[in-house]
Structure formats: C-alpha cells, structure tokens
Amino acid sequence: MSAIPTSEAISAPFTDPCVAEPHALTRNVRDTRGASPATGYRWPESRTGDDMADARLCWRAMSEGGARLKLTRDQILGHRRRVSALDARLPAGSASLEAAASAGLQDSMPRAALLSLHARVTGVHSGSWEDPALIQIWGPRYSNYVVAARDRALFTIARYPDDVRTQRVAEDMAARLAEHIGEGRMRFDDATAVVEGNANRMRYATLTGTVAIRWDGARQAEVWIVPRPAMTPVDARRVLSRRYLHVFGPTTHASFSEWAGIGPAQGRATFDELAVRRELVEVTTPLGEASILASDETSFRTPPDQAAAARLLPSGDTYFLLQGRDRELLVPDAAQRALLWTTRVWPGALMVGGEVAGTWRRVQHKVTISVWRALSPAERTAVEVEALSLPLPRLVKPIAVAWHNESTHAA
C-alpha cells in the first residue's frame, strides 16, 4: 500500500512557482479564521487563503503546452485497489487499521466499517473497530464514520463552513452538548433532547471537531465531548483533499466537495492551492479531464498488482462510495450500476479478481450473493471462503452462504 500523504508543518513555507524566494500566503481565510460569532473561539493563524489568483494564473501559464498524462481504466482501478489494500491485506496491527481508515470508513450500516477493515487488514476481529487508534465521529455528509483518532480534525473541522449562519448553528450545538455532557457520556436520544429534539441539527456540532460518538450497531449511540483540534479548517481541508486524491484519484474539485460535504468554492480553492504548490498532475481519463497527486504518478504508471481472488465490501465502502459519472468507470454497465447503487440502502459489492462482479446482502448469519456473471468453481470457492471469514459479532449460528439468481445476472 502506498504511503498515506501526511500534513506538512503548518508553518513551513512553500516556493511560489513564479518567484525565486519562499512565499507564504497569509491574507483572508474568510470566516474560518477570526472569532466564531457563537463562542468567540479564534482559529490559529493559517498560512493559506483564497487570495491566490495571481499565483494560480502563473501556475496555469507554466502548465500550458504540457502533454496530459493519459490513464486507462485498468491503470486507475489498479492504483485505487493498491492504495486501498484491496489486492493484498495489510499485516495485523493498529498502524494498518489507521492506514485502512485513511480516507475514512463509513459506518452508517451496522458494523460496515468493521467489514471494510476486514477487507483490507489481516487478523481483524469483531472488536477491531474499537482499537484505540480509531474513533467514531459524524463525518462527511454527517454520516457515521470510523477514522484514525489522529485524523479527527481532517473529517470534522475540514468541513467547517464559510457562512456565518452555519457557523453559529455548529458552535451553538457544540456549546449546548458540552454544557450538558461535561466530561461524561450521553445517550443519543438524551443528547437529542438537549437540543430540543432536533437530531439532525445536533450533528452540526461535529463541524467544530469537539464531538465523538460510539455506536455498536445494536444499541443507542453514545455522544461525548473531545478537545477542539488545533489545526485550522483550511489546513485540515488541504490534508483531507490529499487523502481524497490518493484514494479516489483521478478526480475533480467538484467530486471532492460532494464527497466531503463542503461548499463548491471551498473544494475549488483547496485544489487550486495544491496546484500552486505543484502537488497536482492534470490527466485525461476515460471520463474526461481530472487531477492526481504528483506523488501518485508512479503508482498509476506501475502495472496493476495481482488482484485478490475475492473481497466482500460492505454497503458504503470507500472503494465504491462514488457519485454521478464517477460510477461509470468502476461499473461500466448501466444495468449493473442500478443493482449496486440502488435508490434505497446499497448492498455490498462483490469483488472477484479485482472487478465488481455482483452484490451481497446479509440477514443475521445468512449471506446472500448475487453475481453478474457465471463464476468458475475456483471463484465460487474463493467467495465462500471470504464470506465465511467475515468477523460478524453476536451471531447465534455459523455463517451460511446462499447464491441468488446467478443465471439471471450472468453476462
């Protein structure tokens, strides 16, 4: 698995591509710097801002005439599987759990994040999602997420809004929760009562980075207060964008904004800054023009690794957490896309030999698999072995595999 991009020291200068001396962009971080209207909290000074038009134009002028790197579908999916550890599982341990959660693991379906970890890390058991290296939060789009504890700022304050009205809501919800919870924990329904019964509005508190949750998929979630991260929203958003580009690339600022649940202007400004810093490479894909991290270019040029025989990815797994046309690259057939990205709760994705080859669902101990093509005996065995290895908690019977409508979906 390729190295996960990490945050540079916030105070480190970078070299402006149009001048010879280090240049720090320090003006106007909009409302994300300065005192919060609700609490008076002042974010630390940031070295970045959105007064980058001149530098942006300079970068684009320097880039004109350069041939775009053309990437094929195989190159793109080979890179994504490689950096997501879906071709070969990582060794057991907390460091591998952190790496597997580098772009966050959606956990809105009971124990989805646990199954995402299992698809990527050796030795995952039913309690691995509670490893001290991990934490649950309300992440992008206010969904339940499991992330590395050290990355809490990236999935919370990176989404801090620019508009004062939403800032006030976020700060107000966080202040109310802090006042009533104190240093303890509170059940989700009790916390909802604190904010006058509006559970959705309560989730805005996550934008301050001060709220953590615990939901085991069976009982009421617990909510508690954690220290506000020291990173600024702009700095956290920059690092989050690198994570997104590394795992979902090639991609665009619009796709990043939609995935992270931030404003389009925030996403664009973040990508523009990465371009000024010479961190992006413009590429051409089967879907059109997009960007990758310059540090990932070697991975894209490297032939795909040998794909795993089978993987069962849960509903909402990072690998297929895609929107719009981005789905066409992963699943070219429109009818099959409709089976995976349904209008209701998504099923899990069945991967065979590195390709999405069907869907799966589970009810208690029964795992039902629907395939889109006929599988060989060896492939069926690999899928069953993978299903029987799922670290599902609280089962009263052994896992049983059922094959559903295989001939109907065979290509």
Question: What are the tokens at 361?
Answer: 């669902």
Burial-class residue 104 by CB neighbours within 10 Å (0-12, 13-18, 19+): buried
Yes or no: say if 382 and 388 are a contact pair by the CB < 8 Å rule.
Answer: no
pLDDT of 147 over the 50 cut = yes
Beta strands in 175-233 (DSSP E): 185-187, 211-214, 222-225
CA–CA separation, 222 and 323 (whole Å): 30
User: Strand order of the sheet with strand 185-187?
Assistant: 105-106, 144-148, 134-138, 211-214, 222-225, 185-187
> What secondary structure letter does DSSP report for 47?
S
Reduce the DSSP state of residue 316 to 3 states and report it.
Answer: coil
DSSP 8-state code for residue 196: T
Distance CA 340, CA 268 (A): 29
Q: Report the first-to-last Cα separation within the chain, whole angstroms.
A: 32
Using CA atoms, how far residue 119 sits from 340, 389, 397, in Å, is 18, 10, 22
Question: Can you point out the beta strands (E) in 274-393?
Answer: 280-285, 288-293, 310-313, 348-352, 355-363, 366-371
pLDDT tens per residue, range 109-119: 889 999 999 99
With cut-offs at 50, 70 and 90, classify the pLDDT of residue 200. Answer: confident
In degrees, rounded to 5, the angle at the alpha carbon of residue 121 between the alpha carbons of residues 118 and 123 is: 80
Strands 185-187 and 69-70: unpaired
* pLDDT at residue number 116: 98
Six token digits for residue 264: 């389009």
- Calculate what percentage of the chain has a pLDDT beyond 70: 82
Measured at the CA of 383, the angle between CA 286 and CA 147, to 5 degrees, comes to 65
Round to whole Å and give the CA distance between 401 and 40. 56
Residue pointed to by tokens 């590394």: 246
Percent share of the chain, pLDDT over 90: 73
pLDDT at 30 over 50: no
Using DSSP bridges, classify how beta strands 310-313 and 134-138 pair: parallel, antiparallel or unpaired: unpaired
**What pLDDT, in 10s, does the model give residues 241-282?**
999 999 999 999 999 999 999 999 999 999 999 999 999 999
Tens-digit pLDDT profile for residues 205-243: 999 999 999 987 777 889 999 999 999 999 999 999 999
Q: How far is CA 127 from CA 132, 153, 216, 254, in A?
A: 11, 24, 10, 36
Q: Which residue has the higher pLDDT, 19 or 280?
A: 280
- Please answer whether residues 361 and 325 qualify as being in contact, where contact means their C-beta atoms are separated by less than 8 angstroms: no
At position 326, the amino acid (one-letter code) is: D
DSSP 200-213: HHHGGGGGGT-EEE
Instruction: Residue 344: name the closest of 355, 366, 359, 364 by CA.
Output: 359
- CA 255 to the chain's CA centroid: 12
Residues 6+ apart with CB under 8 A from 308: 86, 87, 88, 351, 353, 354
What pLDDT is stored for residue 159 in this prediction? Answer: 97
